[in-house]
C-alpha cells in the first residue's frame, strides 16, 4: 500500500493547485480524480469552455454587427457552430493536458477512480476495473459542486438542460428560456443570444446577479436588454417539461397568476450544490450542514483533525480562484506556515460583454452595517479608449470610508472589468485610499483610467473628464 503525506480527493482548481503547493513544500502527494481527465468542473465543463464559447460568439457578433463601422466589410457571414464547439474542446484539452503535465513535473501521483474513506488515514480508490487503497497522513476534500435544480423541473439533458449540455449544443436555440438570472445563466445566455437566439430569463428575485452590488445588476440588465434579452423578475417557476421538440415552463407571476413560457430549449441555472456523493464521510464521522457542505473551522480543518476541505464543498462563494487560495492555504498550514485569506477581497466576475466585477463591500452591505462612506463613479462613455473601441457601456464605482478614505469596495461593469478588478484587489490588500489610486499615473489611453477617475470622484468630486 502506497503511503503519502497528503491525499487530495478531487482535481479541480482547488485540488490540483493544492497538490502543486504541497509538492513544492516537500510533501509526498497523491491526487484522486474519478473522471478520466483532470481539472474538475472548471476546466472541463465550467470556466474554461464557457469562456471559449463567449470569446468565439463575441467575434461572431462583432463580425455581424460592428465590423462595418470599423470599415471592415466581410460580405456574407456564416456560423459554423460545430467548429465553434470543436474549438472549445481543443481549448479544454490544452488546459487539461497542462494540468497532467504539472502533476508529472511536481511528482504528484495521480489515481483515477472514486475516492472514499475507509478510515481517517486510509482511502479506497475504485476504478472501472480495479480497486486500490492508499494511506495518507492528511487528506484534503476538494470534490467541488454540481448543478442544482428545483422541484417540478424535469431535466432530461436534451431540451431541459444544465450548463454542461449547453456547452455542447448541436444547434442554436430559436428561443432559449433560462431559469435563473445569475452568473452562469447570463454567460451562456450571452453566447446564444449573440448567435441569434431569443433569450428569456426568468428570475425568482427582483434583480440580476443579486449577490453583487445592485447598481451592477441594473446596468447589466439595460445592456443585455439592448442585446435582445427579455427579463421576468419576481417570477416563481413551478414546472419545466419537454413535449416533443418544445419545452414548457409554467411560472407564477407577480400577480399570483400562472403563465406559460414556451421555447425549444430551457437552461436550468439556479446555482450549484456541493458534491460529496460516495466519499464515505460516515466512515470517519463527518456530517454535512443543511446546505450539504462539509463543516470546517477557520483553518479549513474538519472535525477530524487530519482531514481538511476546500472549495465549493465548504462555505463561501463557489469560485475557482477562491478554491485555489484555499488549496494553497491548507498546503502552507500543513507545512507549519501562517498563511491568510481575506475572503472579503476575493473578487467576483461575470464574463458577459461588457464584463462585470466586484470586490469588497457592496453599497447595500455598508448601509446595512451603518458604515459611513462616500461614493465615486465614472462612466466608460467618458473614456477615450472606450470610445475608440466602441465599448462605452458601463462604469466604475468606488466606495471609500467617509473619514479615512480607505477603499471599502469597488464595483465595475465595462470592457475588461475582469482584468481591471485586480487593481482594486491590490489596492485594498494594502489598505489604499481612494486618494492613493487617484494620484497614481495610469497609462493613457486605457480602460484603467476609469478606475482612476472614479477614485478622483470619490475624493471631493475631482473627476477630470466629466
> Closest Cα partner for 300 from 429, 139, 110?
139
Q: CA dihedral in degrees (378, 381, 387, 393; nearest 10)?
A: 100
What nine digits make up the cell of 431? 489598505
**Stretches in the chain below the pLDDT threshold 50:** none
pLDDT at 408: 98
Domain residues of the chain, as ranges?
Answer: 2-146+273-341, 160-270, 345-458
pLDDT at 65: 94
Identify whether 444 is a catalytic site residue: yes
Cβ-contact 13, 31 below 8 angstroms = no
pLDDT at 242: 96
Q: Give the separation between CA 406 and CA 413, rounded to whole angstroms.
A: 22
pLDDT digit string, tens, across residues 429-439: 999 999 999 99
- At the fourth CATH level, which superfamily is domain 2-146+273-341? FAD/NAD(P)-binding domain (3.50.50.60)
Q: Is-same-fold flag (160-270; 345-458)?
A: no
CATH number of 345-458: 3.30.390.30
* Cis-peptide, bond into residue 445, ω within 30° of zero: yes
Cβ-contact 87, 225 below 8 angstroms = no
pLDDT at 199: 98
Which position has the grid cell 464559447? 53
Q: Give the separation between CA 202 and CA 186, rounded to whole angstroms.
A: 11
Q: Give the separation between CA 50 and CA 46, rounded to whole angstroms.
A: 6
CATH number of 160-270: 3.50.50.60
What nine digits make up the cell of 289? 450542514
DSSP one-letter string for 280-342: -GGGGT--B-TTSPBP--TTSB-SSTTEEE-GGGSSS---HHHHHHHHHHHHHHHTT------
Q: Give the separation between CA 237 and CA 180, rounded to whole angstroms.
A: 10
Cβ-contact 292, 315 below 8 angstroms = no
What nine digits make up the cell of 333? 498550514
pLDDT at 159: 98
Read off the pTM.
0.96
pLDDT at 169: 97
pLDDT at 334: 98
Catalytic residue among 65, 70, 444, 465: 444
Q: Give the separation between CA 331 and CA 22, rounded to whole angstroms.
A: 5
Cβ-contact 235, 200 below 8 angstroms = no
Amino acid at each position: 500500500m502506497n503511503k503519502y503525506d497528503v491525499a487530495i480527493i478531487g482535481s479541480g482548481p482547488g485540488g490540483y493547485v493544492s497538490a502543486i503547493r504541497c509538492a513544492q513544500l516537500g510533501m509526498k502527494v497523491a491526487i484522486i480524480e474519478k473522471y478520466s481527465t483532470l481539472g474538475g468542473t472548471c476546466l472541463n465543463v465550467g470556466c474554461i469552455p464557457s469562456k471559449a464559447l463567449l470569446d468565439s460568439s463575441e467575434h461572431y457578433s462583432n463580425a455581424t454587427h460592428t465590423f462595418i463601422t470599423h470599415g471592415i466589410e466581410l460580405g456574407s457571414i456564416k456560423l459554423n457552430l460545430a467548429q465553434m464547439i470543436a474549438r472549445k474542446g481543443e481549448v479544454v484539452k490544452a488546459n487539461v493536458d497542462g494540468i497532467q503535465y504539472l502533476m508529472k513535473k511536481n511528482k504528484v501521483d495521480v489515481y483515477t477512480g472514486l475516492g472514499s474513506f475507509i478510515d481517517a488515514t486510509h482511502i479506497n480508490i475504485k476504478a472501472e476495473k480495479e480497486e486500490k487503497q492508499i494511506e495518507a497522513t492528511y487528506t484534503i476534500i476538494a470534490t467541488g459542486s454540481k448543478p442544482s435544480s428545483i422541484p417540478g423541473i424535469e431535466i432530461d439533458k436534451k431540451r431541459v438542460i444544465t450548463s454542461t449540455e449547453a456547452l455542447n449544443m448541436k444547434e442554436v436555440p430559436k428561443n432559449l428560456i433560462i431559469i435563473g438570472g445569475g452568473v452562469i445563466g447570463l454567460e451562456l445566455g450571452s453566447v446564444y443570444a449573440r448567435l441569434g437566439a431569443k433569450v428569456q430569463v426568468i428570475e425568482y428575485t427582483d434583480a440580476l446577479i443579486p449577490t453583487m452590488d445592485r447598481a451592477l445588476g441594473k446596468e447589466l440588465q439595460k445592456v443585455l436588454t439592448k442585446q435582445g434579452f427579455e427579463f421576468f423578475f419576481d417570477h416563481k417557476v413551478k414546472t419545466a417539461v419537454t413535449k416533443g421538440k418544445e419545452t414548457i415552463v409554467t411560472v407564477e407571476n407577480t400577480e399570483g397568476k400562472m403563465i406559460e413560457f414556451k421555447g425549444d430549449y430551457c437552461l436550468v441555472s439556479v446555482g450549484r450544490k456541493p458534491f460529496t456523493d460516495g466519499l464515505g464521510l460516515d466512515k470517519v464521522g463527518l456530517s454535512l450542514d443543511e446546505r450539504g457542505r462539509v463543516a470546517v473551522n477557520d483553518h479549513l480543518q474538519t472535525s477530524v483533525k487530519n482531514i481538511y476541505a476546500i472549495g465549493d464543498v465548504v462555505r463561501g462563494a463557489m469560485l475557482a480562484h477562491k478554491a485555489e487560495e484555499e488549496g494553497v492555504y491548507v498546503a502552507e498550514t500543513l507545512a507549519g506556515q501562517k498563511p491568510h485569506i481575506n475572503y472579503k477581497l476575493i473578487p467576483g466576475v461575470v464574463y458577459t460583454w461588457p464584463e462585470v466585477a466586484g470586490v469588497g463591500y457592496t453599497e447595500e452591505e455598508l448601509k446595512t452595517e451603518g458604515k459611513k462612506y462616500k461614493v465615486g463613479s465614472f462612466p466608460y462613455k467618458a473614456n477615450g479608449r472606450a470610445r475608440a473601441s466602441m465599448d462605452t457601456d458601463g462604469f466604475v464605482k468606488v466606495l471609500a470610508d467617509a473619514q479615512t478614505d480607505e477603499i471599502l469596495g469597488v464595483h465595475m461593469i465595462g470592457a475588461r472589468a475582469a482584468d481591471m478588478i485586480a487593481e482594486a484587489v491590490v489596492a485594498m490588500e494594502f489598505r489604499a485610499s481612494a486618494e492613493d489610486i487617484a494620484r497614481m499615473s495610469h497609462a493613457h489611453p486605457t480602460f484603467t483610467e476609469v478606475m482612476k477617475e472614479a477614485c478622483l470622484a470619490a475624493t471631493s468630486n475631482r473627476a477630470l473628464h466629466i
